Chains A and B, each alone.
Chain A
């Protein structure tokens, strides 16, 4: 079975670097190919990297509170760029203020994300979801 490729990065002008390096390590250990774009990644960079590497999923991290704004339109751009149906995950600190996570999750799903994760999600939870979505076991 060919390895699945994940493109990973922190979107927008966000410089929180620690989370993605942990995720990078965890995804590699779980047997994925990871293209880690690091911090301050634009939507275009996520898309270009996914095209060139034939990626199976884009993993968006956002910590600094502007995630929703930064993520807007990403799914549409993926469709436009020929990445139809690519898996889109988002996580980090995407809850701002006192909103319920389920509410936030819905907003991201409405934007075309397949899954959204609350703060403090264990990497293993995400890995299990990936395996499920890729029909791996």
Chain B
């Protein structure tokens, strides 16, 4: 046996997953509370003890960790035009696994600086202007940031002509200059900023109080949890090469939904551009091949009212078969008692409707749209965002969903809807459920043993979402 331990320090729970590299089996999973206030190693030790109760003692040959504890990687970004550099900066941060606490466009004001100070981000991403383009905005914003009372590293990824000048204005702070997130108009270049963000995350956040003590217990804290999730999804979609040169196939383009208590994350792995030959023109920034969106107002408990607002009480009532008044009452209760899990048919029905509403809303926001144009020689289409209609695989994960019944039905809320035909959602798909909740762990493992991680995922993801 060659056991490896994979650790996910979450904001509430520390989750551990053990796999055997030799048999490529999942040995077991377990969890305990995250103990960042005292010593994060305590919760970890407890989780491992619980795991070993099930598996027997394990001699781990390696221990890898990802983390979203202590609020995760909290970032604020600024750009110039909302749909251009500000959007590019947001994409870069989301793709680096950050929790975005603010996106600013145009010139920062004194009020904005107060808000930024109050938020005290882990990293600030400063962008604006294409290379050789607008300089005034990023220079102004660097001046404004220099007046912040709180200290945080600033990554400068804007107009290269003034990157140095911006850095000088921020003297005394930790500043990193990387390539522009939008070097040319319409070109998205987010990798350099992401690499730097990850580097700072590892160095600074991981060295923070509470983590250092765990250092001896783990070999490597590799990345923020959402990045691990993105790596798992990319591997699952694309497949990888085995050491003998043969190909371990993936399952193809996919969409993953992760419905949590506070937020709903959506991941898509696909090109999503208009297919050649169609008379569709693409507008806006090119979309990242691996795209992550986070809906901060959509979640099963803390953000339960956001779901209700987005889909309407009528939708929830109709899907759950519970009268609207009663729905409102139950939703208020769950919003206040976030630990409550469904125990009877009524609360199960409500969670079913809520989860459907969460997925419907979050996937609609993630997906691109078509707009129809009547021109004198017929209809033309304009596409913004990613076209997900050809995606045939949907992965369902997240504490709130993997234990639900009728997961397949819930996931079908992600489908293309004839009522809203211009929202480019998958037309049909197989639903895979992450019942053993191992995706982030497999993303971690993929950095070292991709073939093993992929085979375990293919084995453990269950197409059992259709059972009632």
Contacts and interface: CB of A to CB of B under 8 A. Distances in A.
Contact of B80 (A13, A15, A51): A51
A35 interface: yes
A127 to B, nearest CB: 20
A40 interface: yes
Given A13-B373, A40-B380, A53 B134 contact: yes
A13 B380 contact: yes
Interface string B79-94: 0110111000000000
B185 interface: yes
A48 interface: yes
B382 A40 contact: yes
B182 interface: yes
A52 B373 contact: no
Interface string A6-33: 0000000111000000000000000001
A45 interface: yes
Interface stretch (B15-23, B125-133, B199-207): B125-133
B283 interface: yes
B376 A54 contact: no
A3 interface: yes
B84 A52 contact: yes
A69 B383 CA distance: 23
Contact of A52 (B182, B375, B382): B182
Contact of B134 (A13, A38, A40, A54): A54
A35 B382 CA distance: 20
A13 B375 contact: yes
Interface residues of B, number: 23
Nearest to B84: A52
Contacts of B373: 13, 40
Tell me which of B81, B185, B373 has the highest count of chain A C-beta atoms within 10 A of its own C-beta.
Answer: B185
B118 interface: no
Q: How large is the interface on A (under 10, 10 to 19, 20 to 34, 35 or more residues)?
A: 20 to 34
Contacts of B133: 5, 52-55
B204 to A, nearest CB: 30
B251 interface: no
A15 B374 CA distance: 12
Given A13-B380, A40-B382, A64-B376, A52 B80 contact: yes
A5 B184 CA distance: 12
Contacts of B382: 40
Nearest to B375: A13
Given A38-B281, A40-B281, A40-B283, A52 B380 contact: no
B283 A45 contact: yes
Contacts of B81: 48, 51-52
B160 interface: no
A51 B134 contact: yes
Interface in B361-415: 373-376, 380, 382
A2 B375 CA distance: 40
Contact of A53 (B130, B283, B380): B130
A15 B375 contact: yes
A39 interface: yes
Nearest to A2: B132
B135 interface: yes
A16 to B, nearest CB: 11
A52 B85 contact: yes
Interface in B43-84: 80-81, 83-84
Contact of A48 (B84, B132, B376): B84
Contacts of A54: 129-130, 132-135
Interface string B283-297: 100000000000000
Nearest to A33: B132
26 contacts: A2-B132, A5-B132, A13-B373, A13-B375, A15-B281, A15-B375, A15-B380, A40-B281, A40-B373, A40-B382, A45-B283, A48-B84, A49-B186, A51-B80, A52-B80, A52-B84, A52-B85, A52-B129, A52-B182, A53-B129, A53-B185, A54-B129, A54-B130, A54-B135, A55-B133, A64-B376
Top 10 A-B residue pairs of the complex, sorted by shortest distance between their CB atoms: A53-B133, A54-B133, A54-B134, A35-B185, A48-B81, A52-B84, A53-B130, A13-B373, A52-B81, A53-B185
Interface of B: 80-81, 83-85, 128-130, 132-135, 182, 185-186, 281, 283, 373-376, 380, 382
Given A52-B185, A64-B376, 7 more contacts: A2-B132, A5-B132, A33-B132, A40-B281, A40-B373, A52-B80, A54-B129
